[in-house]
């Protein structure tokens, strides 16, 4: 194919989850549709206008993100997450009304990421007049390590530290739960 | 999320094969990567510079596509395809050295596409000093209808008309071939 289309395929294949076949399908869609210029413009706008919130490091179009600048949120509860992409799923639950802090990664010695590479100092600076820190890092090795590190740092301040419960997914099946999850669910059993 | 990111998600979801989850994944990739501006530029370049070949209606960056302007191709054999995207797979076989003609669709009464909506008149005008027309429309109802229509139009000109063979895919398994394909393969059996 022409060099310009090859360039497009090459750029499209860099997108996550897009292999050569999908890239080709999308390239032909781009060639055919009037929407493609709008897509390119939207990418440009986002790249130029979206930055990090100065307070919580979520994505924002102003100095503060929409959550940090919302006075109806409870600013005394901070939920710590690894990445901005962890925030929308929590927001969709409609259960959490506090604000967030994005670490920008998780502690992972194997990838050379230590506590000093994350927004932890910035988190510590925010812990004035705060009632609770919810550490919502992923329930895997790196996430648990990060949570343990944060807990050790925050504990001396006398602030309540919590972590979302692990257990069997709602609508899930006991039979198909892995033993670690099921074990955790039994340990954390609740009286009804 | 912010309105600008919502716009981006909305545009990304228009791409073929991209649902809400993939769009979100790609949106976060766009926010994080330096490649995104280059992707947007490439889309813009392709949209402004790529047009249809004046002869065969394949995508081209000049008046003629790379295949039509290549003197080492056999210009006496024309392979008729429905869409430009059908050309790269044929090219990859390295078996065909002729040139192409893109119809821009296939006859489909159910979608309101008749022969007059396709580049058929343009094909007929090209059939001067041509030895063979290979009708490589898809082996489905619309493709076969289109092929039959073209064959009826071209036959009076005394030009050889061919169609790629149907049969069991190479590396395929007799056991799993559907009966129509297997029937066709038996009818078209070759002496060895």
Q: What is the pLDDT of residues B96-117, one digit of tens each?
A: 999 999 999 999 999 999 999 9
**Would you call A109 exposed, middle or buried from its count of C-beta atoms within 10 A (0-12, 13-18, 19+)?**
exposed
CA distances for A121 relative to A55, A179, B54, angstroms:
12, 36, 63
Flag whether residue B6 sits within 8 Å of chain A, measured between CB atoms: no
CA nearest neighbour of A37 among B45, B170, B156: B45
Flag whether residue B144 sits within 8 Å of chain A, measured between CB atoms: no
Nearest to A26 among B4, B15, B29 (CB): B15
Helix (H) or strand (E) holding B77: strand B77-81
Asked if A50's CB is within 8 angstroms of B5's CB, the reply is yes
Q: Which of the residues B47, B49, B87, B92 would you substitute to probe the A interface, choosing the one with the greatest number of A C-beta atoms within 10 Å?
A: B47
Structure tokens that stand for A23 in this block:
């890239």
ipTM of this predicted structure? 0.75
Flag whether residue B14 sits within 8 Å of chain A, measured between CB atoms: yes
> pTM (2 decimals)?
0.74
Which pairs with CB-CB distance under 8 Å and at least 24 residues apart come from B5-12? Answer: B5/A46, B5/A50, B5/A59, B5/B31, B7/A42, B7/A45, B7/A46, B8/A42, B8/A43, B8/A45, B8/A46, B11/A35, B11/A38, B11/A39, B11/A42, B12/A39
The 3-state secondary structure of chain A reads CCHHHHHHHHHHCCCCCCCHHHHHHHHHHHHHCCHHHHHHHHHHHHHHHCEECCCCCCEECCCCCCCCCCCCCCCCEEEEECCHHHHHHHHHHCCCCCEEEECCCCCEHHHCECHHHCCHHHHHHHCCCCCEEEECCCCCHHHHHHHHHHHHHHHHHCCEEECCCCCCCCCCCHHHCCHHHHHHHHHCCCCC
Flag whether residue B180 sits within 8 Å of chain A, measured between CB atoms: no
Nearest to B45 among A4, A27, A49 (CB): A4
| Tens-level pLDDT at each residue, chain A (192 residues) | 578 899 999 999 999 999 999 999 999 999 989 899 999 999 999 999 999 999 999 999 989 999 999 999 999 999 999 999 899 888 888 889 999 999 999 999 999 999 999 999 999 999 999 999 999 998 889 999 999 999 999 999 999 999 888 887 887 777 777 888 888 878 877 777
């Amino acid at each position: 194919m022409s060099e310009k289309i090859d360039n497009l395929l090459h750029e499209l294949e860099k997108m996550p989850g897009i292999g050569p076949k999908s890239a080709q399908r999308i390239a032909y869609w781009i060639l055919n549709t009037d929407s493609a210029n709008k897509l390119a413009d939207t990418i440009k706008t986002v790249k130029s206008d979206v930055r990090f919130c100065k307070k919580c490091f979520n994505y924002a179009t102003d100095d503060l993100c929409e959550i940090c600048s919302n006075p109806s949120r409870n600013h005394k509860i901070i939920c710590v997450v690894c990445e901005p992409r962890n925030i929308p799923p929590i927001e969709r639950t409609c259960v959490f009304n506090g604000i967030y802090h994005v670490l920008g990664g998780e502690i992972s010695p194997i990838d050379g990421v230590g506590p000093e590479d994350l927004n932890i100092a910035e988190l510590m600076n925010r812990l004035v007049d705060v009632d609770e820190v919810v550490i919502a890092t992923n329930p895997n090795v790196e996430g648990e390590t990060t949570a343990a590190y944060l807990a050790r740092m925050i504990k001396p301040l006398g602030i309540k530290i919590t972590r979302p419960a692990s257990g069997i997914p709602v609508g899930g099946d006991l039979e198909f739960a892995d033993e670690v999850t099921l074990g955790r669910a039994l340990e954390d059993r609740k009286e009804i």
